[in-house]
Chains A and B, each alone.
Chain A
Amino acid sequence: MRYALIVIPLLLLPVLLNDFWLTQVMTRALILGIVALSLSFLAKYLGVVSFAQAAMAGAGGYTIAYFGPNSVNIGIELPFWISIPLALFLATAFGGLIGCVARRSRGIYAIMITLAIGIAFFYFTRQNYALFNGWTGFSGVRAPLIGGISLRAPVPLYFMSLLSAVVSMMLVSGFARSPMGLAIQAVRDAPGRVMALGISVSTPIIAAFAFSGLLAGTGGILNVWYQERISSFSVGFGPIIDILIIAVIGGLRYPSGAFIGAIVFVMLDTFAVDLVDRERFNTLIGTVLLLIVIFAPNGLQQLVMDGAAKLRRAKQPTN
């Protein structure tokens, strides 16, 4: 019921908004939200803040670009019903692989290791021309045509992103309640006890990273269709930090916060020109992040919930 209240207005948006708002703001926020969701999932259920999400999204995006129609003549063109599952699979596998590398590290160590992985991936895509086409990357990537309608057209892309976002949210809450999801949370809370029960600690960690790779890969595929290109800059330090900022603004511990953060981020990014000099966007977003970290460490979602609780208390008669 609560979800219907959120989803039904979102379904009506294409009627209300023009193409600019629908594509540049809403679709973009949904796509960024899905990638940020992959981070909030890890932060909430595994207790690991990962900086490798842009790399996982990049794995999905690069696969679509390599095996899809592009204008740089690199890669093999496969039909979309093969390339999409392949991209999702590779992103998931890459997520699992990252989990495998980082499985023995926790807390700040995990931050450092995933950051090192993320940046190493960025430098690797820059240096490698056979698979990633180096610095320039892929351009002219076209989204699939289904029944003569391009998925890149504003309304289909919006619905595709909305559907992916809803499915991702459902997957997260379903996965968290599954036996594997519970094992992941047990590893977060008491790895020693999990080991004492004879359950391997590595498997849940790798599974959590793989699942997060699936989410990030979904966002990565949509992002390639949206941007119509992908290059080393799509997986560089900028995107890594953007994803983190989105998740932190929304609240790292709230999966739905990822989408709130994404909307705020996209609005700032789109309309910062009116507030400050376009060139100084990083100073603005850095300041926003700093203020959030100082004054609302649990993000906007928590702020809204606290506010609502206060209102409710104020409404109750106090006698």
Chain B
Amino acid sequence: MTFFFIVTLNGLTLAALYFLAASGFSLIFGLMRIVNMAHGALLMLGGYVGYSVVDMTGSWSIGVIAGGLAAAAAGAIVQAGVLGWMQGDELRQTLASIAISIIMADLMLWYWGGITYQVELPEALSGGLRLPLLGVGYANIRLALIGFALVTGLALWIFIQKTRMGAIIRAGVDDQQMLRALGYPINRIFILVFALGGMLAGMAGVIAASALSIAPGTDLQFLLSSLVVVIVGGMGSVGGAALGALLVGLAEQYGLAYAPTYGVVFTFAIMVLVLAVRPQGLLGRAEQ
């Protein structure tokens, strides 16, 4: 029974990480209908920059912020420099973002090399905690992940639902043409949303590099998880990303614990099931 609870807790912490990674992807897709294939690369950039900054300054929080800012800047450049010019042509944007992700991943491999890095944790987060009731030790950082995910989710929800900027973004999701007609600088809003999505990815990257590790291939791993999370949960909604992350994270850990050779199949089976019943995702809205 203890084993089951530990696996469940592992699933929850993994889900928290997946949610952090997928939220930016879902946000960008929700507003701009862009499948940002460079999302994994942005996440990895954040992770690497975070590692280098923590290595230099010794402060974990500065590292997280620096990783977020680096990825936000990269995201804004991608949107302003390339994707913005192809607005409305989704396939072309997808292909261009793939090209960008290949180039970014290769340049990062050049600069940081093929080594596996782990960001050094601050004292408060390193070490472990003896869990009440279960009586087993558990790493602090993994528990903190759940906290990070809750805070990020809540902040994102408040930003989108309660602020003026959020209202503009939601209006853009519903009717881009109308928003443009009302005189809102939609191109600048798009760049801002891309930067925000990049920042979420970059911070998730530093956190992932702290809780797990970062190496070439991390980008692909998180791109896949983000894809499955938003396919399952529904595109463009914070709640959908959270639900999708929860299902995928739990499925992966249960799969790993109880059927190690077929772990991926569990994740995949969930996706197929959801697609069969609700092609738009569990909390997604149907396309017209």
Contacts and interface: CB of A to CB of B under 8 A. Distances in A.
Contact of A104 (B82, B89, B106, B279): B279
Contact of B224 (A49, A107, A119, A287): A119
Interface in A236-263: 237, 241, 244, 248
A127 B264 CA distance: 8
Given A119-B220, A289-B99, A108 B279 contact: no
A244 B98 contact: yes
A241 B102 contact: yes
A280 B110 CA distance: 8
The contact size tier of chain B is 35 or more
Interface string B226-255: 011011000000000000000000000000
Interface string A159-179: 000000000000000000000
Given A102-B275, A112-B227, A297-B89, 14 more contacts: A104-B275, A105-B279, A111-B35, A115-B224, A119-B220, A120-B224, A127-B260, A127-B261, A127-B263, A241-B98, A283-B106, A286-B100, A286-B106, A290-B100
Given A119-B220, A120-B264, A124-B264, A285 B102 contact: yes
A241 B189 CA distance: 31
Q: Is the interface of B mostly helix, strand, loop or mixed?
A: helix
Contacts of B96: 290, 293-294
Nearest to A130: B261
A280 B279 contact: no
Interface of A: 49, 101-102, 104-105, 107-109, 111-113, 115-117, 119-120, 123-124, 127-129, 237, 241, 244, 248, 279-280, 282-283, 285-287, 289-290, 293-294, 297
A243 to B, nearest CB: 12
A197 B123 CA distance: 68
B99 A120 contact: no
A127 B91 CA distance: 32
A120 B268 contact: yes
B272 to A, nearest CB: 5
